[in-house]
Amino acid sequence: MTIEETYPLHRCIFQNDVVRLNEILKDEEIKKKINEKDNHGNTPIHLALMLDRRNCILALLKNGCDCVSRNNYGWNPSEEATMLGDIDLVEKLSYQKYKSYFDFFGSKEGIINKWNDILPEFHIKYRLKFKSKIPILEKLGIKDIEHFYKKGNNFRMDFGFSGVDFRGIPRLMKGSLTVLLFFREDGKSTCYLLDNKAKLYTELFPNPSVKIQEAYCNTRMNVKTMYKFYNDNSQLKIKKKSNSGFGFNKSKKRTICINGNKKYSTDIYKFKDSIFFIRKRDNEHTIGDYKSHIKTTITDLDKSRNYTTTITDEIKKTLLNESDYKLKNITNEYIKANGVSENDSDSDNDDSDIESDANSESVIENHQLDSLESNNNFRNMVDENIYSITEVNSEISHKIVQMIICGSDEKGNLIEKDDILYIRQLLPSFFTSYLKANYLPEDQQKKLEEIYTSIVGKYDLSNTSDYNAKHKNPKNVYNVTQSISENYYKKASLSNGNTSKNFKNIPIKREPITEEEYFDSKNMGSLHLGRVMEISEEKKLIENVAKFWLTKENTFPLNCYHIKPIIDTICLILFDQINIKPNDKDYDREIYYNIINYIYNEVDGSKRFPLKFEIPIYASTVFQSKLLEVETENIPDDIFKIPDNYSKDSSVGFRFIK
């Protein structure tokens, strides 16, 4: 093997050649590729973990590989290691992951220096509380008063509890803990945990005690089920509550006291309609050097959620060759011919005021395009996976083609003529590009050509009347496909997975894959190796997302942008984006920036500050945070020092009692 070959590090791992791997990592140019994703979206560490190449994993860790970023399926290296159950690897990967956090935040280009420019020092005191209509939960009074201090590169957080007791109904154990975090000018960081009642402290980073490491690793051992959480905020609505009404009590609910006696009037904003996804991964074990056998109800694991970018915008970026603008003119003619108004909308009139001019244009444009609506499961799947469908060699593109050949979707619903025309309407050259690429075996290629020409025909796109005539006579594809080949495609599953939620009787597939097949440049679909697993995803619409009390415009010394670095930090961690480069394509990051900018614009974030917010947990329980005090100057230096009468003790830690 020569280092000029594509993905040299991946190839060493595939061959389990750790000697060669260590040798080529000495080459600085090759080492720059240590976090490169292959054509399946896997970095070298992801591939090594999938195939359980332990020595290769250790070599990559030694050379500082990325232990944070996700692969196309949404899993980061720590999660892949957790499912392996190797405590030594979990410990090493976890340390490397947390080191990445500290290195990122402490770097000159990191968040802290940017934060210092807009808010060099401050202190906030706030109350966290769970409010419930359930008597036993209300009686528990789960609440805490917390402090957060910042002065330059020094941080301090004070908590009024020391752990959680899970015996019976979970409850917070009272205590007094402090976290001190220091970022030095040389980029190095240190973090300490203080127990103020016992007057003890321990180091959390860079030299955590053995006890803390063991406690963390034990939480990652014998894990049978792993969860991943996602949000789709493309339908999010933000409404400012009306000030209509009268009475002292109504006014009182909108007035919040800060620093004991300073009263601020607020406007209340309600956030509604967010889609929440819970992905579950379980029943997993290794099967060696084979393609992973993933039993799943999810149509496409790596692109299963809607994103905020409109379909129209994404179509304009398509890799396919034909122009969608010619088709758009045809669909406009079709709309007029069928009496559809361009201004028709199913949106609630009450929400019309939250749409920006740009968004309104986008809505109209999409409506004009969708002369065929996405009103069934098959078309919804097309919409949800539009990013993958624009690449004709993606896994979802192959799956859609097989559904069309079969004549029905994974749930047995017949595919209509209009379903095929819907794909053509969105991506005019999808079928012609797919057929031209010749991905299918000869018999399947011929069948797809016959299906396509029998339904779509070879009419000219400029012939509007021909297009409309075909739209007005929808017939299902099932009869067409059956006449071409009786009982052609009779598989229980159209991919690695299966649509049934009962996986018990499904035989495990062991599909070998050669090095040539894995690194074939024509094989570009997402691919997981070495495991049997079950993956399911639950989708929930949260009607009432949150409620925020924001100060009136320009009446408070701070605004939303002063705390944006905190929000960015949390989201970078939650989305595993610490090591994502600015030019890297990352859907979750794009979604976050789009939605946070939308929210800030809707609430006039440059002029307001949140004094209180509530997030529903259950129908009868809400999580509430309320600001009590705020200071933006004269923060004493002494609070960032460990008191002289404190002793170092490795027993200090956050306790979980079960």
Give the Cα separation of 319 and 388 in Å (integer).
Answer: 11
Q: What are phi and psi of 161, to 5 degrees?
A: -140, 160
CB atoms within 10 A of CB 7: 19
Give the Cα separation of 630 and 653 in Å (integer).
Answer: 28
Within-domain flag for 436: yes
The average pLDDT across 577-597 equals 77
Contact 599, 116 (CB under 8 A): no
509 vs 501, residue with greater confidence:
509
Give me the helix-helix angle, 417-426 and 442-455, nearest 10°.
Answer: 90
Q: Is the pLDDT of residue 32 over 50?
A: yes
Place of tokens 């949000």: 231
pLDDT in tens, 593-616: 888 889 999 999 999 999 999 998
pLDDT band for position 582 (cuts 50, 70, 90): low
Q: Is the pLDDT of residue 331 over 50?
A: no
The average pLDDT across 616-624 equals 83
Within-domain flag for 386: yes
Within-domain flag for 6: no
pLDDT in tens, 315-326: 333 333 333 333
pLDDT band for position 172 (cuts 50, 70, 90): confident
The residues facing 155 across adjacent strands are 150, 181
Residues 6+ apart with CB under 8 A from 532: 283, 284, 285, 286, 287, 292, 293, 294, 295, 508
Within-domain flag for 144: no
The pLDDT value recorded for residue 313 is 39
The pLDDT value recorded for residue 58 is 95
Within-domain flag for 599: no
pLDDT in tens, 184-210: 877 789 999 999 999 999 999 999 988
Residues 6+ apart with CB under 8 A from 174: 160, 161, 162
131 vs 243, residue with greater confidence:
131
The pLDDT value recorded for residue 624 is 94
Residues 6+ apart with CB under 8 A from 44: 9, 10, 13, 34, 35, 36, 56, 60, 65
Within-domain flag for 423: yes
Nearest Cα residue to 126 out of 613, 547, 617: 613
The average pLDDT across 65-89 equals 90
The pLDDT value recorded for residue 40 is 92
pLDDT band for position 619 (cuts 50, 70, 90): low
Within-domain flag for 363: yes
pLDDT in tens, 253-295: 789 999 988 999 999 999 999 888 888 999 898 999 999 998 8
Q: Which domain holds residue 453?
A: 298-499
Assigned token pair, 417: 């003529």
pLDDT band for position 420 (cuts 50, 70, 90): confident
Within-domain flag for 444: yes
Total structural domains in the chain? 1
* pLDDT mean across residues, the chain: 78
Q: Is the peptide bond before 557 cis (omega within 30 degrees of 0)?
A: no
pLDDT in tens, 622-646: 999 999 999 999 999 999 999 999 9
Contact 170, 164 (CB under 8 A): yes
